[in-house]
């Protein structure tokens, strides 16, 4: 860990302005990801701006019937919120499928969205990694890749985004609200928050330097059966091999299809961002096979992780079955 | 005390304290966080500086240049130790690779420098400022690829009986299958850690080490100093599983760092370093051939195993149990060792048997199926009460059949459907599996000193270690029983090289041998006490804090009223273990559910029925067995050090990447101990149990998965990707 200075920001705008102007400044929220990375010197901030005291820790209803989730709301509190549990069940389920109780007590909404990949080579500073050290090469490609991505990847990086929460937010069409260093604010559809790696895998989001996430908003509830199915090698405390977030409206059996009126689906564990292809969703009526074929069209798995494609299809099939039941 | 004839009735047989499910006497310290582990010995010596280990960034090759300037200049840095500054060092008998590398690098994360600084953070930061240039060399990292070139390992000849090849060829029912087990990590909670302090040329090491005597010798040999100048202190150890049998780089570098800094230095290996810096259980490829008659009698059994290690390393002895577990006139075992440039392979909980049974006990299941027999019946039919390679050597005790039969009854084995994939409960495919558990009981000499004071308090001192197993408690029980005092009148002091040399903790030999040594010392003290109190003619009784004979009773404490009494003695074994095969046995039963869609395996029930001699403390023994069952489940389902075959290292070198079971993975576990004593093992009539619990579990899980799904996976761990292609269509 490099020596660093520390301050508590006075307001969101103050935090953003300082983060943009002080060299090497970095926000810290729960610290559950950042501190681990600092210990390994994967992140070496010179200055930490603590955003915990900014009052961004409430969940409020929006005028149009949705929810506005403060950036500093803890994962545990978000998962337990009665409104979330009633109307956005997929989010609650995704949250409790992540990490551990202790971590969720500290982890924040914004921190969770911005957590970095779990690629094992990214975590080993001896190994070349384009994400950690731009231009050094990717040591995962050709190496141990079982947990890595199958789609949206590039020749420079095949890492996945590890968040469960973000996958649920993606099917919920969430919007990320920010404050920029100049004091202005903007709203970013969650679909646009994370970038695909291309030839610059170290640039992971569209946020500009110093831009602070203040909240995530959810549109008014859409109903439907809301499911999150996370598949992993052990029963808890593991990142997803594949996860499926789905909102499915059963048609009560009179729709002529396979019991589904409409649905949305996003995948975790397969790509550098929550993976959703809206056009594929029209095929949910035909079943998991057709939907997954479109969702993962153009996938470029490695021999070690090719199983994720079949796994995604079968997991989606199980989710659809459960939604109809 | 020489143990040369089977034990007769002795004070331990009273079973007033021994054999009771006593809570750990060190439990309150553990649960309140006041049992100090090596790194926490802030009190023992003033002025402790912090050392941080830098590991090699390549797997094989040479350091061409080390630039220390930035690190030297970093805040708080006191000194930096490298192979160059350390001068000539020896190598311990138990180490294969050097603990401090450079200029030659033998494996990834081999220590190449220790930075000593005023604070931990300063040391860690400065270590990252050392610039090292390497000249990498190609190495061998792939066991499958190196298999062809593997050779017979020194001291591990092929064994056999009869004519295996002809008998196998002629057998009407045959199995010839190959199984693989991956490299595994001990993944104990407490990292390797040491504090070193020099006083002139005398070195004290507060460390985490299972084998104090081996440690002293290896530190002496490595530092080229006399053994008398070294003191090792290791009273509490946060898990070892074999990973702390040997002195590791934390201890050596703390000693070198303290010498160079001129003040005490503490070093803990950071978690991401441990996997590649220390030892691991080596991967195996195992070929098993079994031939049998149509009615299920084994006529030929052959087991070959390939593993790899650094030059001068050792094989994983995965064929061990196959020499002894089942009958069959024609036999063959063979081990071949390939040179690999991965980190050093070495002992991990039940080395040999743990991976060996993972293979053998699937093979037995496969064979039973070919024969159309129940797998328990098949095992019973091929039981042997003698060493099948040397039929003149009986087992001292062998109740494998009872383990299997009682287990079958308890587990409801009769409800198992022999046809695979025939039980479905909602989304779950359900199956049951069984495997035999087997692990040898090793006897080795062990000594202790016992003191009695004027308050009647009995203090036991031995360099034995408690690695979380409950040793403190069973030693206290032994001393209490033998001296006839209540448990709270016994003080146990362990893990100090100033104490008499014990067997140490490893190979599940600790419990039986260490308590036998304490028993021997207590018996010697009893003699002295009896004499002192004037019981000259008869052997008096020691009970309830009194010494009595023929109506005459004297308080035990009286013997020490003029000053403490002490006795030192130990157990030494003659040749009973050569005349008799001593082993422990288990029946492992597992029920699994396999998610029909995703292939996720979830354990539903586990049962182990163990026959392991006298159980000294059923509570701590049960803890050992359920812990081992958990580790066996991990081996079956998730534990695998993933090898980067290009770069030569274990990639998932932290606890996020190397998955061991979490609570949610482990269902209801039941353990039954058969009522057994083994007078041939020691005066305690006990055996080991801490490793038996892992032996066979993996195969029981594998067999249950097969029963649930009809998919036979022979490559561990059985992760869902290996099942996925064979699962039923989802409606
Ligand atoms: C052992 C372990 C297991 C885990 N398992 C899972 C799992 O199964 N599933 C899962 O989804 N996650 C898992 N996680 C990850 C966990 O969810 C994240 O670490 C956590 O959500 C991060 O939140 P935080 O508040 O602690 O972020 P921090 O560590 O404080 O910050 C993370 C990043 O976000 C930035 N940041 C924080 N707040 C803001 C803001 N308001 N605006 C702009 N930038 C900001 C920080 O600068 C930093 O770069 C696991 C973590 C650990 C350690
Ligand atoms: S996959 Fe991405 S994160 Fe992993 S090593 Fe390659 S560049 Fe780095």
Paired with A264 in beta bridges are A247
Q: Looking at residue B398, what is its pLDDT?
A: 98
Q: Where in chain A is the domain with CATH 3.30.43.10?
A: 5-52
Across the interface, whether the CB atoms of B128 and A232 are under 8 A apart is answered no
Paired with B492 in beta bridges are B460
Q: Which of A39, A120, A315 sits opposite B597 (nearest CB)?
A: A315
CB contact A85 to B (< 8 Å): no
In the residue annotation, B691 being an active-site residue is answered as yes
Q: What is the CATH number of domain B2-35+443-575?
A: 3.30.365.10
Q: Rounded to the nearest 10 degrees, how much is the dihedral formed by the CA atoms of B117, B123, B125, B130? A: 90
Kindly tell me if the per-residue pLDDT of B380 is higher than 70: yes
Kindly tell me if the per-residue pLDDT of B342 is higher than 70: yes
CA–CA gap between residue B717 and residue A42 (Å, rounded): 31
Q: Looking at residue A254, what is its pLDDT?
A: 63
CA–CA gap between residue B674 and residue B586 (Å, rounded): 10
CA–CA gap between residue B721 and residue B698 (Å, rounded): 18
Across the interface, whether the CB atoms of A318 and B597 are under 8 A apart is answered yes
A41 neighbourhood in chain B, CB within 8 Å: 125, 128
CB contact B653 to A (< 8 Å): yes
pLDDT tier, A272 (very low <50, low <70, confident <90, very high otherwise): very high
pLDDT in tens, B238-285: 999 999 999 999 999 999 999 999 999 999 999 999 999 999 999 999
pLDDT in tens, B6-15: 999 999 999 9
Is the C-beta atom of A130 inside 6 A of ligand 2?
yes
pLDDT tier, B538 (very low <50, low <70, confident <90, very high otherwise): confident
Is the C-beta atom of A162 inside 6 A of ligand 1?
yes
CB contact A238 to B (< 8 Å): yes
Q: pTM of the entire structure?
A: 0.98
Interface of A with B in 245-304 (CB under 8 A): 288
Is the C-beta atom of A202 inside 6 A of ligand 1?
no
Is the C-beta atom of A305 inside 6 A of ligand 2?
no
Interface of B with A in 602-631 (CB under 8 A): 602
pLDDT in tens, B425-466: 999 999 999 999 999 999 999 999 999 999 999 999 999 999
How close are the terminal C-alpha atoms of chain B, in Å?
Answer: 70
Ligand approaching nearest to the C-alpha of A147: 2
pLDDT in tens, B615-669: 999 999 999 999 999 999 999 999 999 999 999 999 999 999 999 999 999 999 9
Judge contact between A7 and A47, C-beta under 8 A: yes
Ligand approaching nearest to the C-alpha of A140: 2
Can B39-138+188-276 and B352-441+582-726 be said to share one CATH topology? yes
A234 neighbourhood in chain B, CB within 8 Å: 637-638, 659, 661-662, 664-665
CB count in 10 Å sphere of residue B457: 17
Fold of B352-441+582-726: Aldehyde Oxidoreductase; domain 4 (3.30.365)
Q: What is the CATH number of domain A225-323?
A: 3.30.390.50
Kindly tell me if the per-residue pLDDT of B731 is higher than 90: no
Kindly tell me if the per-residue pLDDT of A256 is higher than 70: no
Kindly tell me if the per-residue pLDDT of A258 is higher than 80: no
Is the C-beta atom of A26 inside 6 A of ligand 1?
yes
Q: Looking at residue B539, what is its pLDDT?
A: 87
Across the interface, whether the CB atoms of A143 and B646 are under 8 A apart is answered yes
Kindly tell me if the per-residue pLDDT of B175 is higher than 80: yes
CB contact A92 to B (< 8 Å): no
CB contact B426 to A (< 8 Å): no
CB contact B665 to A (< 8 Å): yes
Q: Where in chain A is the domain with CATH 3.30.390.50?
A: 225-323
Across the interface, whether the CB atoms of B643 and A125 are under 8 A apart is answered no
User: What is the 8-class DSSP label of residue B222?
Assistant: H
Percent residues over pLDDT 90 in chain B:
99
Q: Looking at residue B697, what is its pLDDT?
A: 98
CB contact A4 to B (< 8 Å): no
B54 neighbourhood in chain A, CB within 8 Å: none
Q: Where are the domains of chain B?
A: 2-35+443-575, 39-138+188-276, 352-441+582-726
Cα–Cα separations (whole angstroms), residue B222 to A149, B256, B260, B379 = 46, 11, 16, 48
pLDDT in tens, B344-377: 999 999 999 999 999 999 999 999 999 999 999 9
* C-alpha neighbours within 13 Å on the C-beta side of residue A149: 27
Strands A185-189 and A175-179: antiparallel
Please name the residue whose Cα sits nearest to atom 16 of ligand 1: A112
Residues with Cβ within 8 Å of A254's Cβ and at least 6 positions away in sequence, in order, are none
CA–CA gap between residue A33 and residue A75 (Å, rounded): 14
Residues with Cβ within 8 Å of B85's Cβ and at least 6 positions away in sequence, in order, are B260
Question: CATH 3.40.630.10: does it fit domain B39-138+188-276?
Answer: no
- Mean pLDDT of the region B495-502: 98
Q: Looking at residue B321, what is its pLDDT?
A: 98
Judge contact between A15 and A45, C-beta under 8 A: no
- The shortest C-alpha distance from B599 to chain A (Å) reads 9
Centre of ligand 2 from the C-alpha of residue A150, in Å: 13
Lookup: tokens for A193: 């928050």
b/e A121-148 (16+ beta carbons within 10 angstroms → b): bbbbebbebbbbeeeeebbbbebbbbbb
Which ipTM was obtained for this model? 0.96
Centre of ligand 2 from the C-alpha of residue A85, in Å: 36
Lookup: tokens for A286: 């035909």
SS3 category, A31: coil
pLDDT tier, A255 (very low <50, low <70, confident <90, very high otherwise): low
CA–CA gap between residue B178 and residue B144 (Å, rounded): 12
Q: Which residue of chain A has the CA closest to B427?
A: A318
- Mean pLDDT of the region A39-63: 97
Q: Looking at residue A257, what is its pLDDT?
A: 65
What does pLDDT average to over chain B? 97
Q: Which of B389, B564, B691, B729 is catalytic?
A: B691
Could you tell me which of B594, B593, B484, B495 has the C-alpha nearest to residue B535?
B484
Q: Which residue of chain B has the CA closest to A147?
A: B657
Judge contact between B306 and B143, C-beta under 8 A: yes
User: What is the 8-class DSSP label of residue A276?
Assistant: -
Question: CATH 3.20.20.70: does it fit domain A5-52?
Answer: no
How close are the terminal C-alpha atoms of chain A, in Å?
Answer: 51
Paired with B613 in beta bridges are B686
């Amino acid at each position: 860990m490099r020596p660093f200075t520390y301050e508590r920001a006075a307001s969101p705008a103050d935090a953003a302005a300082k983060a943009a102007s002080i060299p090497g400044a970095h926000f810290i929220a729960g610290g559950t990801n950042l501190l681990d990375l600092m210990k390994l010197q994967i992140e070496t901030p010179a200055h930490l701006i603590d955003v915990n005291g900014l009052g961004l820790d409430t969940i409020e209803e929006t005028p149009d019937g949705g929810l506005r989730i403060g950036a500093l709301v803890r994962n545990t509190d978000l998962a337990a919120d009665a409104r979330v549990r009633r109307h956005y069940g997929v989010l609650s389920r995704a949250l409790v499928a992540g990490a551990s109780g202790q971590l969720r007590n500290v982890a924040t909404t914004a921190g969770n969205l911005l957590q970095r990949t779990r690629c094992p080579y990214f975590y080993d500073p001896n190994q070349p990694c384009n994400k950690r050290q731009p231009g050094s090469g990717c040591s995962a490609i050709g190496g141990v890749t079982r947990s890595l991505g199958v789609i949206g990847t590039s020749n420079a990086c095949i890492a996945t985004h590890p968040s469960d929460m973000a996958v649920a937010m993606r099917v919920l069409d969430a919007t990320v609200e920010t404050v920029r260093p100049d004091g202005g604010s903007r709203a970013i559809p969650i679909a646009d928050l994370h970038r695909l790696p291309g030839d610059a895998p170290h640039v992971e989001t569209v946020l500009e330097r110093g831009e602070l996430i203040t909240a995530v908003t959810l549109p008014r509830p859409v109903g439907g059966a809301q499911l999150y199915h996370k598949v992993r090698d052990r029963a808890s405390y593991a990142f997803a091999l594949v996860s499926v977030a789905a909102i499915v409206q059963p048609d009560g059996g009179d729709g002529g299809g396979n019991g589904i009126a409409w649905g949305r689906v996003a995948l975790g564990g397969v790509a550098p961002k929550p993976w959703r292809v809206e056009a594929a969703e029209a095929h949910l009526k035909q079943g998991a096979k057709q939907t997954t074929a479109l969702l993962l069209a153009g996938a470029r798995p490695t021999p070690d992780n090719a199983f994720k494609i079949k796994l995604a299809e079968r997991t989606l099939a199980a989710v659809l079955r459960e939604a109809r039941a | 005390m020489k143990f040369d004839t089977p034990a007769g009735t002795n004070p331990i047989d009273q079973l007033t304290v021994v054999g009771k499910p006593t809570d750990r006497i060190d439990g309150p310290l553990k649960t309140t966080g006041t049992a100090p582990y090596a790194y926490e010995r802030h009190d023992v010596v003033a002025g402790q500086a912090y050392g941080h280990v830098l590991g090699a960034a390549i797997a094989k090759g040479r350091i061409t240049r080390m630039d220390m300037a930035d690190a030297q200049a970093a805040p708080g840095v006191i000194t930096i130790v490298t192979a160059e500054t350390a001068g000539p060092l020896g190598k311990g008998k138990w180490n294969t690779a050097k603990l401090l590398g450079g200029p030659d690098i033998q494996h990834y994360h081999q220590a190449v420098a220790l930075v000593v600084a005023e604070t931990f953070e300063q040391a860690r930061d400065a270590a990252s400022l050392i610039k090292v240039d390497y000249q990498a060399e190609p190495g061998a990292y792939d066991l499958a690829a190196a298999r062809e070139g593997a050779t017979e390992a020194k001291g591990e000849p092929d064994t056999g009986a009869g004519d295996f090849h002809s008998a196998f060829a002629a057998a009407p029912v045959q199995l010839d299958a190959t199984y693989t087990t991956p490299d595994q990590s001990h993944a104990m909670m407490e990292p390797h850690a040491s504090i070193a302090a020099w006083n002139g040329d005398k070195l004290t090491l507060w460390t985490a080490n299972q084998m104090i005597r081996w440690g002293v010798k290896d530190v002496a040999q490595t530092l080229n100093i006399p053994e008398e100048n070294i003191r090792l202190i290791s009273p509490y150890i946060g898990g070892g599983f074999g990973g702390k049998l040997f002195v590791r780089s934390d201890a050596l570098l703390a000693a070198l760092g303290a010498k160079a800094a001129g003040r005490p230095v503490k070093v803990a290996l950071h978690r991401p370093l441990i996997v590649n810096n220390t030892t691991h259980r080596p991967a195996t490829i195992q070929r098993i051939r079994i031939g049998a008659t149509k009615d299920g009698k084994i006529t030929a059994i052959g087991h070959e195993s390939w593993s790899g290690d650094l030059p001068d390393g050792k094989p994983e002895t995965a064929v061990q149990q196959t020499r002894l577990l089942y009958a069959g006139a024609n036999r063959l075992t063979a081990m071949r060792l390939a040179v690999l440039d991965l980190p050093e392979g070495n002992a991990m909980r039940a080395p040999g048997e743990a991976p060996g049974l993972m293979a053998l006990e699937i093979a037995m299941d496969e064979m039973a199926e070919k024969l159309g027999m129940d797998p328990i019946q098949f095992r019973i039919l091929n039981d042997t009460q003698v060493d099948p390679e040397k039929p003149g050597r009986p087992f001292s005790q062998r109740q494998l059949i009872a383990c299997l039969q009682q287990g079958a009854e308890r587990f409801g084995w009769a409800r198992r459907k022999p046809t695979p994939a025939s039980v479905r409960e909602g989304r779950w495919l359900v199956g049951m599996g069984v495997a035999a558990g087997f692990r040898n009981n090793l006897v080795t000499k062990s000594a202790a000193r016992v003191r009695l004071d004027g308050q009647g308090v009995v203090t036991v001192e031995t360099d034995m270690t408690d690695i979380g197993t409950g040793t403190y408690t069973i030693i206290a029980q032994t001393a209490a029983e033998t001296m006839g005092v209540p448990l709270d009148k016994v003080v146990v002091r362990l893990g100090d090289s100033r104490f008499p040399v014990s067997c140490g903790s490893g190979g599940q030999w600790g419990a039986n041998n260490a308590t036998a040594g304490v028993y021997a010392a207590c018996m010697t003290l009893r003699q002295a006490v009896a004499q002192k109190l004037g019981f000259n003619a008869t052997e008096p009784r020691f009970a309830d804090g009194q010494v009595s004979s023929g109506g005459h009773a004297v308080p035990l404490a009286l013997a020490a009223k003029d000053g403490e009494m002490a006795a030192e003695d130990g157990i030494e074994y003659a040749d009973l273990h050569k005349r008799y095969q001593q082993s422990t046995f288990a029946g492992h039963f597992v029920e699994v559910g396999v998610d029909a869609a995703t292939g996720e395996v979830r354990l539903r029930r586990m049962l182990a029925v163990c026959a392991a001699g006298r159980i000294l403390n059923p509570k701590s023994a049960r803890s050992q067995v359920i812990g081992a069952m958990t580790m066996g489940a991990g081996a079956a389902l998730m534990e695998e050090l993933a090898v980067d075959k290009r770069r030569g290292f274990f990639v998932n070198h932290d606890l996020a990447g190397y998955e061991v079971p979490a609570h949610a993975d482990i269902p209801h576990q039941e353990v039954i101990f058969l009522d057994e004593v083994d007078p041939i093992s020691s005066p305690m009539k006990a055996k080991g149990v801490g490793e038996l619990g892992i032996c066979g579990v993996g195969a029981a899980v594998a067999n249950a998965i097969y029963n649930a799904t009809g998919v036979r996976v022979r490559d561990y761990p059985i992760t869902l990707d290996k099942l996925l292609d064979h699962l039923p269509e989802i409606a």
